[in-house]
């Protein structure tokens, strides 16, 4: 056998009397790596040991012991020599004078890339610890998109740090444990590396909630004692029945790990004794066909529990995990979960994407977990383009947790989405352009609202229109990070375009009193202005003007230079005309609800653009303290769209009056956006928020309500 041949080889000599366990690591690596790789690994160890010489961890151990332990974890995943070298060298850039160029010179670009990807950004300055963590995470993600081994080394590094975390101050322990549970354990799960996921979760749980951990561990130890004998008898019965059926299989007992039990107790609000799948049986066979044969045999031995069967072979989990899960009524009616899988599936379940470096799947029905990881990383790349570091980190946290909803495209392809995903999430999962242009959805051939939550097994079809664009309200109900970031990115760009157009109009209006126009401005004057303001071009200046970050009259005065008396110029300013189609950079105040026909005034609000108020608004007194931010505005003659307005109706309290008032409003073809009712004794106050086109339509609404018996007074709300 290969293993025997390897044991007869001479291992490279480790040139240190105290190797801190490196010799044992080398013996382990010799079991699967070729001899020529081992010498390079010894050289990496020597380089790291020399770089870390004299350094110690908080626990008092020589620092080099940490890289060796990380390399041992990597060896447990059977990764290649480059990964082992990177594990041994992963801290030299951060904690020693060694440079990236030195690593490249000694070990090549491949190892240098891995080490650089794992290293933290501690040499850069950030505004906050949160930003530093987020930027470091973004760097790691971008590196692992190019090479998945980066994140595998990082996970091994975090695992050993968690094993030795007790040497740190308590507050730092809690912060690192929370980060482990929120980011690193879910990443291990998403990549299908069950062994690291379980250890990271249990170590994080023990550190973050030590009392809960001890209580649960004690209770589980007691339960384990009572379950040991019955479980052994069940295993023996399965072994006998499988042998009788001529099926070669490996049967083992399995136990749900502590953090998984804890999360299930929280999620379902149940006690430990109510969780049915704490203990179970795992059956590993040779091929997929035998999995289904064993499933039938299991259902003959013990009756299956209705609704508790899951086929993760036909429809794998998002991380590539495949297995058959069924829950049976065991002896004395005790629930028993049975997992049935092939040897390949078992290896992938333990090592996930790391298994790719050891073997290729033989059975074509075994889904490539590496392909899953690549798809996920491609999605992360798309997200990171449209968010800053902290937004990206939060988006990834949302995206990390396993999906539970499986739906179908009209062509029968399976789409995997998180629980709570909507038709809009589905549209963006198909393609960003489909999401941006979707106008309606069909679920099982029936038209449904876009915010409809999807359920397992549904067939979803998205209807698009070329001129459609995302609705800002979608952000409030989408469940996937991809959809949320795509909507925000589109709206951000849309808002930027609208701000530039508004800014151009504002500056053009502000230049008229100086008898100047944008078209006739000399280039040297524009260049001088941009240099003085520190703005790269006129498009950026228009954007700042449109968003209210600069004031158009001030910029116009700078361009005009000797344009005369400021008050005289202000008196000659013509109002900016509002058409109602300006989009996100013209906002209508919610205190006074201006509508076409009202006398209005505009207030430049930094970051929001122009906020339109009625001239009778009660809040204007506060704003008048900043006269430079006011601009004259007026309605265009052909204003488009509907505008919110608010009316108050005082009535005598009688049955059916609210319905009658609402009916009169509807009869004028006016939509009701919101209604509120306040009752005092035998009188009521009704507040309606309506969507109207102009003052004429609002007057029609008020007239129709006044004639209703029992209405005492009806009026428009004022700010």
3-state secondary structure of 8: coil
Instruction: Among 338-347, 353-362, 434-443, 481-490, name the one with the lowest average pLDDT.
Output: 353-362
Is it the case that residue 420 has pLDDT exceeding 70? yes
Q: What is the mean pLDDT of the chain?
A: 80
Q: Which of 43, 46, 94, 391 is catalytic?
A: 94
Q: Mean pLDDT throughout 675-703?
A: 89
Instruction: Quickly state the pLDDT bin for 4 (edges 50, 70, 90).
Output: very low
Is-contact 516 560, C-beta < 8 A?
yes
Assigned CATH class of 643-716? alpha beta
Helix/strand/coil (H/E/C) assignment for every residue in 632-666: CEEECCCCCCCEEEEEEEEEECCCCHHHHHHHHHH
3-state secondary structure of 15: coil
pLDDT digits (tens, 9 = 90+) for 78-96: 888 889 999 999 889 888 8
Select, from the ranges 200-204, 398-402, 579-583, the one with the highest average predicted confidence (pLDDT).
200-204
Q: Mean pLDDT throughout 394-399?
A: 59
pLDDT at residue 3 in the model: 39
Select, from the ranges 169-183, 314-328, 499-513, the one with the highest average predicted confidence (pLDDT).
169-183
**Which residues sit opposite 644 in a β-bridge?**
691
Helix runs in 469-565, H state only: 481-511, 523-533, 538-546, 552-560
Token pair in block for residue 491: 């709206």
Is-contact 486 388, C-beta < 8 A?
no
Q: Could you give the CA distance from residue 712 to residue 542 in angstroms, rounded to a whole number? A: 51
Is it the case that residue 36 has pLDDT exceeding 50? yes
Quick check: is 217 catalytic?
no
Token pair 């020589």: residue: 62
Higher local confidence (pLDDT), 190 or 135: 190
Instruction: Quickly state the pLDDT bin for 365 (edges 50, 70, 90).
Output: very low
Q: Mean pLDDT throughout 438-463?
A: 89
3-state secondary structure of 37: helix
Quick check: is 95 catalytic?
yes
pLDDT at residue 205 in the model: 93
Is-contact 204 245, C-beta < 8 A?
no
pLDDT at residue 564 in the model: 44
Q: Mean pLDDT throughout 232-241?
A: 89
At residue 350's C-alpha, the angle toward residues 344 and 354, to 5°, is 80
Is it the case that residue 162 has pLDDT exceeding 90? yes
Is-contact 384 138, C-beta < 8 A?
yes
Is it the case that residue 5 has pLDDT exceeding 50? no
Q: Which of 19, 46, 95, 660 is catalytic?
A: 95
- pLDDT above 90 as % of the chain: 21
Is it the case that residue 166 has pLDDT exceeding 50? yes
CATH classification code of 212-367: 3.30.460.10
Q: Mean pLDDT throughout 468-488?
A: 82
Is-contact 349 194, C-beta < 8 A?
yes
pLDDT digits (tens, 9 = 90+) for 285-299: 999 999 999 999 999
Is it the case that residue 14 has pLDDT exceeding 70? no
3-state secondary structure of 320: coil
Q: How many Cβ atoms sit within 10 Å of the Cβ of residue 651?
A: 23
Is-contact 600 700, C-beta < 8 A?
no
Cβ density class 344-379: b for 16+ within 10 Å, e for less: bbbbbbbbbbbbbbeeebeeebbbbbbebbeebbeb
Q: So where are the chain's domains?
A: 2-208, 212-367, 488-635, 643-716
Q: Mean pLDDT throughout 177-185?
A: 86
Select, from the ranges 95-99, 426-430, 541-545, 653-657, the one with the highest average predicted confidence (pLDDT).
426-430
CATH 1.10.3210.10 fits 2-208, yes or no: yes
- Rg of the Cα trace of the chain? 34
Is-contact 231 278, C-beta < 8 A?
no
pLDDT at residue 20 in the model: 75
């Amino acid at each position: 056998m290969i293993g025997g041949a390897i044991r007869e080889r001479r291992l490279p000599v480790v040139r240190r009397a105290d190797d801190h366990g490196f010799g044992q690591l080398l013996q382990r690596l010799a079991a699967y790596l070729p001899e020529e790789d081992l010498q390079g690994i010894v050289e990496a160890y020597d380089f790291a040991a020399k770089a870390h010489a004299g350094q110690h961890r908080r626990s008092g151990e020589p620092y080099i012991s940490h890289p060796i332990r990380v390399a041992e974890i990597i060896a447990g995943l059977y990764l290649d020599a480059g990964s082992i070298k990177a594990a041994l060298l992963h801290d030299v850039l951060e904690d020693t004078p060694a440079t990236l160029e030195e690593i490249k010179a000694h070990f090549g670009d491949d190892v240098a890339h891995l080490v650089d990807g794992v290293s933290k950004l501690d040499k850069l300055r950030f505004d906050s610890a949160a930003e530093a963590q987020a930027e470091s995470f973004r760097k790691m993600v971008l590196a692992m998109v190019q090479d998945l081994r980066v994140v595998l080394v990082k996970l091994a590094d975090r695992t050993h740090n968690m094993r030795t975390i007790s040497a740190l101050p308590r507050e730092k322990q809690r912060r690192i444990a929370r980060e482990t549970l929120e980011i690193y354990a879910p990443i291990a799960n998403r990549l299908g590396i069950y062994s690291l996921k379980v250890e990271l979760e249990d170590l994080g749980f023990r550190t973050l909630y030590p009392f809960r951990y001890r209580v649960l561990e004690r209770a589980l130890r007691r339960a384990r004692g009572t379950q040991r004998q019955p479980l052994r008898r069940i295993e023996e019965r399965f072994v006998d029945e499988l042998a009788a059926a001529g099926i070669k299989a490996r049967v083992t007992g399995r136990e749900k790990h502590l953090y998984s039990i804890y999360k299930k107790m929280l999620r379902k609000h149940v006690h430990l004794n109510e969780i049915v799948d704490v203990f179970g049986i795992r059956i590993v066979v040779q091929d997929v066909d035998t999995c289904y044969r064993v499933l039938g045999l299991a259902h003959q031995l013990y009756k299956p529990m209705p609704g508790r069967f899951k086929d993760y072979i036909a429809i794998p989990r998002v991380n590539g995990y495949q297995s058959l899960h069924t829950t049976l009524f065991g002896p004395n009616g005790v629930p028993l979960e049975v997992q049935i899988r092939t040897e390949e599936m078992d290896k992938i379940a333990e090592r996930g994407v790391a298994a790719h470096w050891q073997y290729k799947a033989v059975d074509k029905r075994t889904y490539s977990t590496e392909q899953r990881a690549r798809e996920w990383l491609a999605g992360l790349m798309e997200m990171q383009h449209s968010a800053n570091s902290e937004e990206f980190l939060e988006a990834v946290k949302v995206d990390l947790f396993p999906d539970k909803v499986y739906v179908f495209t009209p062509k029968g392809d399976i789409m995997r989405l998180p629980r709570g995903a909507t038709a809009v999430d589905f549209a963006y999962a198909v393609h960003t352009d489909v999401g941006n242009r979707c106008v309606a959805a069909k679920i099982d051939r029936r038209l449904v609202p876009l915010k409809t939550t999807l359920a397992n097994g549904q067939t979803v079809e998205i209807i698009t229109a070329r001129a459609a664009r995302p609705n800002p309200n979608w952000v409030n109900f989408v469940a996937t990070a991809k959809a949320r970031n795509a909507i925000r990115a589109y709206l951000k760009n849309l808002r930027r375009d609208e701000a530039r157009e508004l800014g151009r109009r504002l500056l053009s209006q502000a230049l008229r009193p100086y008898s100047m126009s944008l078209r006739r401005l000399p280039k040297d004057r524009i260049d001088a202005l941009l240099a003085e303001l520190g703005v790269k071009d006129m498009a950026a200046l228009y954007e700042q003007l449109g968003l209210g970050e600069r004031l158009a009259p001030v910029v116009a005065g700078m361009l005009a230079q000797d344009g005369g008396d400021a008050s005289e110029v202000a008196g000659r300013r013509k109002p900016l005309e509002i058409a109602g189609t300006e989009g996100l950079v013209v906002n209508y105040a919610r205190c006074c609800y201006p509508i076409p026909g009202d006398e209005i005034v505009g207030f430049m609000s930094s970051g929001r653009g122009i906020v339109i108020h009625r001239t009778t608004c009660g809040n204007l007194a506060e704003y008048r303290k900043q006269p430079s931010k006011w601009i004259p505005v007026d309605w265009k003659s052909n204003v488009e769209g509907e505008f919110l307005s608010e009316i108050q109706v005082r009535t005598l309290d009688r049955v059916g009056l609210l319905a009658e008032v609402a009916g009169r409003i509807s009869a004028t073809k006016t939509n009701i956006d919101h209604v509120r009712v306040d009752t005092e004794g035998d009188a009521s106050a009704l507040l309606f928020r309506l969507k109207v086109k102009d003052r004429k339509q609002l007057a029609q609404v008020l007239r129709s309500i006044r004639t209703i018996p029992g209405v005492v007074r009806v009026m428009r709300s004022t700010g």
